[in-house]
Amino acid sequence: MSDVDRSSALTAALSDVLGGATIAGLQRLSGGASRETWKFVADGRALILQRQREGDVRDMGVEAAVLRAARIGGVAVPELIATSADEPLESGLQNPVGAAFMILGHVDGETIARKILRDDTYAVARQRLTADCAMALGRLHAIDPAAAPGLPAIDQVEQYRAVLDTLDQPHPTFELAFRWLEAHRTEPGPMRIVHGDFRLGNLMVGPDGLRAVLDWELAHIGDPLEDLGWLCVRAWRFGSAKPVAGVGEYDELIEAYREASCAAVDVEAVRWWEVLGTLKWGIMCIIQLQAHQSGASRSHELAAIGRRVCETEYDLFLALEGRW
Amino acid sequence: MIPHDAPSAQEMLAAVREWMENDVLASTEGRLNFHTRVAINVLAMVERELELGPEQAAAHAERLAALGFEDDRALAAAIRSGAIDDDPTLAVQVRAEVLASVIDKLRVANPKYLSDGRG
């Protein structure tokens, strides 16, 4: 099928799923390794389609349940309009969109970190963003995990060590960091729903602040401080000197999160998760490179990310200086 | 001794990079402009690797030899086994040697990272 045929087939399928709505302006936004994102208008309303790629084994129904639970819990998220799991189809019958999918309400705003961190339009947003993030996370972590059954609950140190081994690119720095993480584990917090990739790039930001938390595909059950530590990883400061998402200080985040969640937070525990997050990003850089090397997604951008591993190694040495 | 005529590999890379910086960047926007920037960075990285690579390879081999390991794989395995932690003097030495190699990698991949925004 040509791209035009594919688009018109998808337009017809979307109309089918949305009760015969008139579909216009179907436009592909991005193609990640695991899913494609499309923007379109249905009966005058701007919507987003997220469609899973072949080979991705994650259950989108679980992610949809997390989105619903987050919305009920007061976290700003896009509205869930329809999913491939809504009406169980008879065995062997394909859903019309052709893969697991979610249709979401479109939220206006900006996701590109460099614009949010530098453009005058977001000057007020930058002042509010740390508190907005803390509020969103506080509300997310207050949700009863039973609201979204089926989320994985895997120890992150064990999980990423196993992932690193499958990549077959041993790094002495990573092993030093794993040893440190194991020797300095913090008291585990209560097991809650964590977003798993809460950072600029996955946050829809308007001039007024945080508008919606996007990209829930890495949500899982874990220690809530994982989300706080990840938000402070140096890669997610995008060149800014401020540790929290490039806009805030540790104290601001911890104080705002304490207010939102009524939970006291130990800054050292957040830093432990930041070290783990830095290590995770280093391993993810290798995964992105291998998406290029395997031919799954040939791209000089992905290839170049492989050479960012040493940035995360350097960050690990800085973070652990004087703490070995 | 290589049989090739001038220009050198480095000179050819520099010529392409300069063309991209001077002409291509100015006539592209959006995604293509971004991917041009990425390509310029990649070429500049390869230029630095051609310049620094040989001396860095020798230094890396010396560091591994000083620690008694054949390669990074063997060193990584020893760290994971806990054998390094058992000897505090060795642990300090290992961290210093590993950091030196990380800094060498950054000198090729992204030299600015060594000085940027470090408080």
* Least confident stretch, A38-42, A112-116, A259-263: A259-263
Count structural domains, chain A: 2
Per-residue pLDDT reduced to its tens digit, A147-190? 999 999 999 999 999 999 999 999 999 999 999 999 999 888 89
Q: Given this model, what pLDDT does residue B119 score?
A: 35
B88, pLDDT greater than 70: yes
Instruction: Determine contact: B103 vs chain A, CB below 8 A.
Output: yes
A127 and A276 together in one domain: yes
Rounded CA-CA distance B72/B82 in Å is: 16
- Cβ pair B38:A300 closer than 8 A: yes
Determine the residue among A236, A289, A297, A314 to mutate to test chain B binding: the one whose Cβ has the most chain B Cβ atoms within 10 Å.
A314
Same domain, A85 and A229: no
Q: Are residues A87 and A117 in the same domain?
A: no
Output A5 or A47, whichever has higher pLDDT.
A47
Judge contact between A70 and A143, C-beta under 8 A: yes
Query: Do residue A194 and residue A137 come from a single domain?
Result: yes
pLDDT at A4: 75
Rounded to 5 degrees, what angle do the CA atoms A209, A215, A221 make? 105
Q: How far is CA B69 from CA A188, A304, B59, B104, in A?
A: 36, 29, 14, 19
The number of angstroms, rounded, from the C-alpha of A277 to the middle of its chain's C-alpha atoms is 13
CATH, residue A267? 3.90.1200.10
Select from A282, A211, A215, A304 the least CA-distant residue to A32.
A215
* DSSP assignments along A281-301, one per residue: HHHHHHHHHHHHHTSTT--HH
Q: How sure is the predictor about A61, in pLDDT bands with cuts at 50, 70 and 90?
A: confident
Question: How many CB atoms are located within 10 Å of the residue A26 CB?
Answer: 17
CA angle A105, A107, A111 (to 5 degrees): 130
- Which residues form the domain of A21? 3-105
Q: Where a domain ends, among A105, A128, A144?
A: A105
The residues, any chain, with a CB within 8 Å of residue A148's CB and separated by 6 or more, are A62, A65, A66, A68, A69, A193, A219
Q: What is the average pLDDT across B75-79? A: 97
- Average pLDDT value over all residues in chain A: 92
Identity of the residue numbered A186: T
In 3D space, the residue among A143, A150, A40 whose CA is nearest the CA of residue A101 turns out to be A40
Give the integer Cα–Cα distance in Å for A115 and A121. Answer: 9
Encoded amino acid at B46, one letter: V
- Look up the ipTM and state it: 0.95
Same domain, A150 and A212: yes
**Percent with pLDDT over 90 in chain A:** 79
Same domain, A82 and A160: no
Q: CA angle, A198 as apex, A192 and A200 as ends, to 5°?
A: 165
- Residues A211 and A307 both lie in one domain: yes
Listed residues A105, A123, A158: the one ending a domain:
A105
Domain locations in chain B? Answer: 9-114
* Residue A283 Cα distances to A144, A170, A171, A300, angstroms: 31, 10, 10, 18
pLDDT at A7 (0 to 100) = 84
Q: Which of A134-138, B31-35, B71-75, B104-108 has the lowest mean pLDDT?
A: B31-35
A29 pLDDT more than 90: no
Q: Which of B42, B98, B108 sits opposite A300 (nearest CB)?
A: B42
Chains A–B, number of C-beta pairs less than 8 Å apart? 74
Asked if B79 and A311 come within 8 Å (Cβ–Cβ), the reply is no
Q: What is the CA radius of gyration of chain B?
A: 20
Of A88, A105, A122, the domain-final residue? A105
Contact A136, A76 (CB under 8 A): yes
| CB nearest B42 (choices: A171, A176, A304) | A304
Q: Kindly state whether residues A175 and A254 are assigned to the same domain.
A: yes
The answer on A237 and A196 residing in a single domain is yes
Give pLDDT, residue A1.
Answer: 62
